Amino acid sequence: MGNHPFAQLNHLQQHHQLIPEKHLAEIFDRTATRKIARGGYLYLPAEEAQQVYLLVQGPVKVGSFGDGSREVTKYICRASNILGEEGVIGAKVRHNFAQVLESATVAVLSVADFRKALQGHPALSQQLLRLIGGRLAEAEQQLESMVFLNSRSRIIAFLHRLAAQDGQRVGYKMLVRQFITHQEIANLTATSRQTVTTVLNELRNANVLTFNRKRLLVRDMDTLAAWSR
């Protein structure tokens, strides 16, 4: 693929939502890519679900709007993820939004073209089912967290899950290179930004983790997991 933008895709493939690059490249490699600035939207609720997006470089958050200006973040996608897949399984309009958290590069196919491509790529069809199943499982986990855990435990459980899924091992530690804002964590855990900040500072003071605006370093995954319970 040479210097094509698909060469930027993450090769770690750790997250259960990621689809192997080789399957995506076969379909999207001749598709023009476009860059979207931070804060831009790939799509909004009530729009027709006519396109499928491959996230070459991200991250992008997917969520919905509640009453007034309230926003609920459902999950955050990174490289090698497909977004807008609801159109492939029959949805006519979007129920979610997809917003770029930093600059992003995406490739776009029509739903009709993507369905045709799936017919010739059984392995990708299976991966797409795994992706959808993974997102449903994550939504179920979030719901259980809201029912059974208090605010502090929800935040800690999320941090542990984030490190386990998106982190890179550095010795005995886990490093998340693209940390998200305190407000985004609050949106994902149904808590307040102030509570997130308090819990993060508590964990930092206990030497369980360190963080800044760009990175999260978990020093002790076992302690983090124990505290989430």
Q: Does residue 101 share a domain with residue 34? A: yes
C-alpha–C-alpha distance, residues 214 and 181, integer Å = 9
Alpha helices in 17-168 (DSSP H): 21-28, 111-119, 122-148, 151-166
pTM of the model as a whole: 0.76
Q: Does residue 52 share a domain with residue 163? A: no
C-alpha–C-alpha distance, residues 119 and 135, integer Å = 23
Q: Does residue 68 share a domain with residue 140? A: yes
Which pLDDT score is estimated for 19?
Answer: 65
Say if CB 157 and CB 228 are below 8 A apart: yes
What tokens appear for 53 in the block? 């997006």
Q: How far is CA 67 from the centre of its chain?
A: 24
C-alpha–C-alpha distance, residues 212 and 87, integer Å = 37
CATH, residue 186: 1.10.10.10
| Parallel/antiparallel/unpaired status of strands 104-110 and 71-77 | unpaired
- What does the pLDDT look like over 112-142, one tens digit per residue? 988 888 888 787 788 888 888 888 888 888 7
* Domains contained in the chain, number: 2
**Alpha-carbon torsion 69, 44, 123, 167, what sign?**
negative
Q: Does residue 141 share a domain with residue 153? A: no
Q: Does residue 163 share a domain with residue 93? A: no
Q: Does residue 197 share a domain with residue 84? A: no
Q: Does residue 41 share a domain with residue 54? A: yes
Residues of the domain holding 188: 149-228
- What does the pLDDT look like over 4-13, one tens digit per residue? 444 444 433 3
Q: Does residue 166 share a domain with residue 221? A: yes
C-alpha–C-alpha distance, residues 146 and 151, integer Å = 8
* Positions in the chain whose pLDDT score sits under 50: 1-17
Last residue of a domain, one of 145, 167, 193: 145
Q: Does residue 171 share a domain with residue 89? A: no
Q: Does residue 162 share a domain with residue 139? A: no
Last residue of a domain, one of 116, 145, 174: 145
Q: Does residue 88 share a domain with residue 45? A: yes
Which pLDDT score is estimated for 224?
Answer: 94
Q: How far is CA 43 from the centre of its chain?
A: 15
Which pLDDT score is estimated for 68?
Answer: 67
Q: In what order do the strands lie in the sheet with 209-211?
A: 168-170, 173-176, 216-218, 209-211
C-alpha–C-alpha distance, residues 80 and 15, integer Å = 10
3-state secondary structure of 142: helix
What's the burial of 87, exposed, middle or buried (CB within 10 Å: 0-12/13-18/19+)?
A: buried
What tokens appear for 40 in the block? 């831009």
What tokens appear for 138 in the block? 């994550």
Residue type, 222: D
Last residue of a domain, one of 145, 179, 200: 145
CATH, residue 137: 2.60.120.10
Q: Does residue 170 share a domain with residue 121? A: no
178 Cβ contact list (under 8 Å, min separation 6): 59, 78, 102, 166, 214, 215
